[in-house]
Structure 1
Amino acid sequence: MLQEHRLDEARHNCSRLAASEQHFHVLHMAAMSSTLLFILFPALHEKTRLFLDSLLI
């Protein structure tokens, strides 16, 4: 009985870890793409940059 409980707890922790890793991956990709955007298009209008920054916050 105790082993089953520990197994369920371990499964729950693994799924939480996988979800947080996926969330980090999405945030990392968003940051990388916005950085790449600003490197490739430095002439973006200031208001456009402010708008994109507000989306990331």
Structure 2
Amino acid sequence: MRPPGYAHLTGVVPISAGNHQTLATTSDGAVWAWGGNSFGQLGDGTTTDRLTPAPVQSLGP
């Protein structure tokens, strides 16, 4: 059973959690992030906090 909002997140390989963010990598190589995003640290192109996983668009320079 999965919590609501996480049904699309399948095939998770590793997962990493910190104080304010969580990141997961799926078997197809996609990276998903959720949590606090005040400074754009989730890499989804916004500064919106995420309660459910959002795809990471950029891993930075």
Give TM-score, length-normalised by structure 2.
0.21
Indicate the structure whose relative CO is greater, using CA pairs within 8 Å and at least 6 residues apart: 2
Higher share in strand? 2
Give TM-score, length-normalised by structure 1.
0.22
Q: Larger Cα Rg: Structure 1 or Structure 2?
A: 1
